[in-house]
Amino acid sequence: MTEQLFSAASEVDRAFLFILAFAVGALVLVTVLMLYFTWRYHHTRNPEAVEIPGSLGLELLWTILPTVIVMSMFWFGWTSFKAMRTVPEGAMEVAVEARMWSWAFTYPGGKRSAVLVAPVGGDVKLSMTSRDVIHSFYVPALRLKMDTVPGLTTTAWFNASAPGEFDILCAEYCGLKHANMITTLRVVPAEEFRQWLAGTDAVGSRARELFETYGCTGCHDLAGGAGAGPPLDALGGRVADVLLPDGRKERVTVDADYLRRALLEPEAEIVEGYDPMMPSYQDQIPEEDLEAMVQWMLTGDTAGPPPGRELAEAEGCMSCHSTDGSYIAGPSFRGLADSMRSVRDASGALREVRADDAYLRQSILDPGALVVEGETPIMPGYDSLDAAQVDQLVEYIRSLGPQDGAGAGAPQQ
């Protein structure tokens, strides 16, 4: 079984193992008896049918034994159910909102995130709901699975005993991109959680998120520590001795250009003392992220994403709209602003419109009004956003540039 980090979850494992053991035992018993009876009562051994009169002992045995077994199954199920349903007093309440096809978490104080962050050893109560259809919040490591239902608040709780990152999945088929509805439970030490919640953690949550997202932290420390690769903090103005592919040694000053090369063509210059094992990140990191990462390595801070981008992430736009021109389940945000779109209005008539601010605003609030030709009208309306938030999103889409190539964001065939 996968690792589990929730004390109440051990009860779930116990119930599961008990039922599994009984099921395997019953399978073996039935199989053996069946083979034995086939042999023992074969017609060559019993040419004459014999009437077998009732047996009180046997009747009692096969009534009492299954009753005891079923009751003990119920007992194991009941205790684990109770342990997982009884939320301890004083648990921190996190609101979970599911929507096609992403998760949003809101913490006390109003901070929102797209990954669930929780302190080690802290009781966390989840109040869950859904914006559109039924989803199911599923964390295998917590043995926790609970439906999220529109118009209803369901609750669950957990207390994670060890730090680490664990998968959160949607366990209820909810449409085209159901399989993409995944995120992470990040369990961190209590102090780190407090800082994260207050937005004052040393590394800067934005930078940490980026370096974790692209897998950098597997080899590089963000605070000067050792690793398979050099630490990434405070690099601005440093000099490094690097080996070139032809074996020559060179001394370089670490600047933005060098860091870009190090990410995009890591094999071109290897810092002395390290193995050349880093993969190239060419075409894998969107420009704005790349810039933020380089900036953090040089100066230790990132200006942070534009507010519109954070909003787009928190609202789940990114599960359907890419920022690099590729197609996920709707037009890419890159090159969308001011492009010409063929759309069908409510009456089904086809016409050409320019994706200006008014069009973008309407597409967010009432996406069904004008549907891009070739798209399925699956996007929910975001009419809970206020005007300022919609403007932020429009501004963000605009920041991703005008159309830069024919067919950007067109549905793939």
Distances (CA, A) of 240 to 227, 259, 263: 17, 12, 15
Stretch near ligand CUA under the rule CB under 6 A, chosen from 154-162, 169-177, 195-203, 362-370: 169-177
- d(CA 20, CA 124) in angstroms, rounded, equals 30
In whole angstroms, the minimum distance from the beta carbon of 34 to ligand CUA comes to 41
- Report the residue from 173, 244, 287, 301 that binds ligand CUA according to the rule CB under 6 A: 173
In degrees, rounded to 5, the angle at the alpha carbon of residue 60 between the alpha carbons of residues 58 and 64 is: 125
Nearest approach, Cβ of residue 374 and ligand CUA (Å): 24
Kindly tell me which of 131 and 186 has the beta carbon lying closer to ligand CUA.
Answer: 131
Residue 329 binds to ligand CUA (criterion: CB under 6 A) = no
Residue of 128, 174, 294, 343 interacting with ligand CUA (CB under 6 A): 174
Q: Which is nearer to ligand CUA, 135 or 334 (CB)?
A: 135
Out of 172, 269, 315, 375, name the contact with ligand CUA by CB under 6 A: 172
121: left (phi over 0), alpha (psi -120 to 50) or beta: left
Q: Is 176 in the site for ligand CUA (CB under 6 A)?
A: no
Q: Decide: is 78 part of the binding site for ligand CUA (CB under 6 A).
A: no
Number of chain positions touching ligand CUA (CB under 6 A): 9
Comparison of 102 and 392: residue with beta carbon closer to ligand CUA: 102
Q: What are phi and psi of 170, to 5 degrees?
A: -100, 125
Which residue's CB is nearer to ligand CUA, number 148 or number 392? 148
Task: Name the segment binding ligand CUA (CB under 6 A); options: 171-179, 261-269, 304-312, 343-351.
Answer: 171-179
Sketch the per residue contact string, 246 through 265, with ligand CUA: x for CB under 6 A, - otherwise: --------------------
Of 82-121, which residues contact ligand CUA (CB under 6 A)? 98, 101
Strand partners, 128: 96, 154
Our CB check for ligand CUA shows the closer of 117 and 128 to be: 128
Which residue, 178 or 361, is less far from ligand CUA as judged by CB? 178
Contact between 181 and ligand CUA (CB under 6 A)? yes
Shortest separation between residue 178's beta carbon and ligand CUA, angstroms: 4
**Least distance from ligand CUA to the Cβ atom of residue 324, Å:** 24
> Of 348, 326, 346, which is closest to residue 336 (Cα–Cα)?
326
Q: Which of residues 126-155 bind ligand CUA (CB under 6 A)?
A: 135
Min dist CB 113 to ligand CUA, Å, is 18
Q: Which residues of this chain interact with ligand CUA, rule CB under 6 A?
A: 98, 101, 135, 170, 172-174, 178, 181
